[in-house]
Chains A and B, each alone.
Chain A
């Protein structure tokens, strides 16, 4: 039998305090859910009346940490409205885990930057050391060349050999300063064409008995200029000619290319 409104309202206090039997509770639920507006309103009023009991108590400030625990739990839910939170200025409500992630990300970024910086520093340091070594070699070469030129200028026995361009390069020319004190030839060439790809120029000592001795290889710059300093072998014997041919890169034991320059040794 359906519950009447009078029966329902009589049971509402016990319904709210959980003192009804399962059958009675089910009956009240059915009655309220059945759309009886009077009893539904009475239930809400009864419930509000019970809520009044909270006012009969003296307020007690909760422990200070309770609020922090609440905000931590709430913000850990991850469904905050960021805009609203920023508007409210509730920056202290930011999720601790999120702060932790940001801090970890920043730490990783800082570490990566540090490693990259340290690596770049080490690389630059190594490059600088390489540049220093290269510059030291340049300086040493220039010191050697300067010493050779000083020797050439100050030598007591100096011979000059003029080199003339032959048929392939008639406009080319050269000079050989023979420092007989040191036994060195200082060779300078002018207006020579660059050698063909895979080839370079080679200087030859040609003795009186037509023996051809390789003296060294060299290249020319954009203006067709090149130079070479070579030591004349002491046991070479009387020299008759100086000649320049084009040879495969690395030089040849005997001339194979055309003669580019040639001069008589006097």
Chain B
């Protein structure tokens, strides 16, 4: 663990972004919230609101609207605090999933496109504990390593993924924007996500999952 922490700090220093605290602290905060401790929500907000706000601003494309979404996100985290299941993902995954979902809802409602099903709710509905490598990766000190992995993706898949999941474009719109066939876009998005998972794996620790084969 000490080696991983050093690696984590090194990556964080290299890319100049703040260190994320260990996920165990987030779990304690979620437990405190479940007991009704609003100060725990405040701590989570202080810790992750810059990351969530950046995500919301990127998806919504407007900081004023992003502020509203940011508040909606942490309000939802609070009101559903007893529904969080740590067996199904790390707290930060949960927070970012809600943030992306709410931000896309806002963006799509503005454009008249039907909003997404609540991805966070879908996560719970899926019901399976996340024992896969990505689920573990987001459980703490590995988080910043993901940024380096994203930077290693080829431009095509990374851009298609960003347009799909950060800007809410449909596959057809992405195909038009990138001037690629629709089938190609679907394929490069799927393969890009698989590549991303591979890049964030720590060799020797994360064995390939059965569902990755």
Give the B-binding residues of A (Cβ under 8 A): 9-10, 12-14, 16-19, 25, 32-33, 35, 37-63, 66-67, 69-71, 73-75, 77, 79-81, 84-85, 87-90, 93
Q: Give 1 or 0 for each of B29-42: 1 = CB within 8 Å of chain A CB.
A: 00010011111111
A44 adjacent to B36 (CB under 8 Å): no
Contact of B42 among A53, A62, A71 (CB under 8 A): A71
CA gap between A53 and B132 in the complex, in Å:
17
CB-CB nearest in chain B for A91: B39
Q: Give the total number of A-B pairs whose CB atoms are below 8 A apart.
A: 226
Chain B contact residues, majority secondary structure:
helix
A to B CB contacts below 8 Å, 16 in the list? A14-B189, A18-B115, A19-B170, A41-B209, A43-B128, A45-B209, A46-B193, A50-B193, A52-B146, A52-B200, A53-B100, A66-B49, A70-B45, A74-B41, A85-B39, A88-B37
Contact of B134 among A45, A81, A93 (CB under 8 A): A45
- Cβ of B119 within 8 Å of any chain A Cβ, yes or no, is yes
Tell me which residues across on chain B come within 8 A of A16, comparing CB atoms.
119, 165
CB-CB nearest in chain A for B197: A49
B50 adjacent to A61 (CB under 8 Å): yes
Q: Give 1 or 0 for each of B131-151: 1 = CB within 8 Å of chain A CB.
A: 111110110000110110111
Tell me which residues across on chain B come within 8 A of A9, comparing CB atoms.
211
A48 adjacent to B135 (CB under 8 Å): yes
- Known contacts A38-B211, A52-B196; is-contact A66 B67 (Cβ 8 Å): yes
Contact of B40 among A48, A75, A88 (CB under 8 A): A88
A57 adjacent to B54 (CB under 8 Å): yes
A70 adjacent to B74 (CB under 8 Å): yes
The minimal Cβ–Cβ distance linking B164 to chain A, given in whole angstroms, is 5
CA gap between A160 and B17 in the complex, in Å:
121
B128 adjacent to A84 (CB under 8 Å): no
Tell me which residues across on chain A come within 8 A of B161, comparing CB atoms.
53
A67 adjacent to B49 (CB under 8 Å): yes
CA gap between A19 and B170 in the complex, in Å:
6
Contact of B50 among A40, A41, A62 (CB under 8 A): A62
The residue in B38, B70, B164 that gathers the most chain A C-beta atoms within 10 A of its C-beta is: B38
Enumerate the 4 nearest inter-chain pairs by beta-carbon distance, A residue then B residue, closest first: A81-B36, A88-B39, A40-B128, A59-B50
Tell me which residues across on chain A come within 8 A of B17, comparing CB atoms.
58-59
CA gap between A40 and B87 in the complex, in Å:
13
Contact of A44 among B88, B164, B165, B189 (CB under 8 A): B88
B37 adjacent to A81 (CB under 8 Å): yes
CA gap between A81 and B38 in the complex, in Å:
8
